[in-house]
Amino acid sequence: MVRRVRHTIVLLFVVLTSIPMLGSRAAVADETPGALQQRMADIYAATRDRDARKSEALIGSLRLPAHAAWFRKAFGEPAAAGLTTEYDALLQRFEADAAKLFSGVVQKGQSEIRVLRFTDPGDQNAVGNQRDAMAAMKSREPLYSVRFVQPGEKLGMHLYSFVYAGGGFRFVGRMTGAKP
């Protein structure tokens, strides 16, 4: 009986984290900076409104499904092995760290959300880890950055990198293991 309940809970978690959140103002269904900005705004609003269930589900949807396969496709071996290990470590604390990050940006009033898309390792707006990751990719995938700033400010919380995979935006982290 306990095994069946655990299996049901795990199955429910997998389903909830692999589809866009129903009821969000705009389900992330396309690969545009605006769609990622809307997803971040939905998480910001859920955090601000103290809707823990919605916030947790939205944050969970940012996990990269089948991440080892994605890293192999994007980077090839042997880089994929190191990136998979790095991502596995990130996943151990992902939800807690993301919840803390969103609580912090809400507390600081960093309600303006800016999203940048990068496709070229030479893009000067990308941070060093993003340029390194794009340069190391065997299959070029766009990377996205999100900045949370107070209205009118230039700098704030920088969250990177995101990719569009599995029908939605996924957080892949800094990918320091891609550095040549």
What tokens appear for 100 in the block? 């803390």
Instruction: Note the pLDDT of residue 17.
Output: 38
pLDDT at 30: 87
Query: Is the previous residue joined to 161 through a cis bond, with omega within 30 degrees of 0?
Result: yes
Q: What pLDDT is attached to residue 180?
A: 72
pLDDT of residue 45: 98
Query: How far out from the chain centre does Cα 132 lie?
Result: 18
Task: Give the per-residue pLDDT at 29.
Answer: 57
pTM given for the model = 0.81
Distances (CA, A) of 147 to 2, 57, 102: 43, 21, 12
The low-confidence residues of the chain, meaning pLDDT below 50, are 2-28
For residues 144 and 62, what is the distance between their CA atoms, to the nearest angstrom? 13
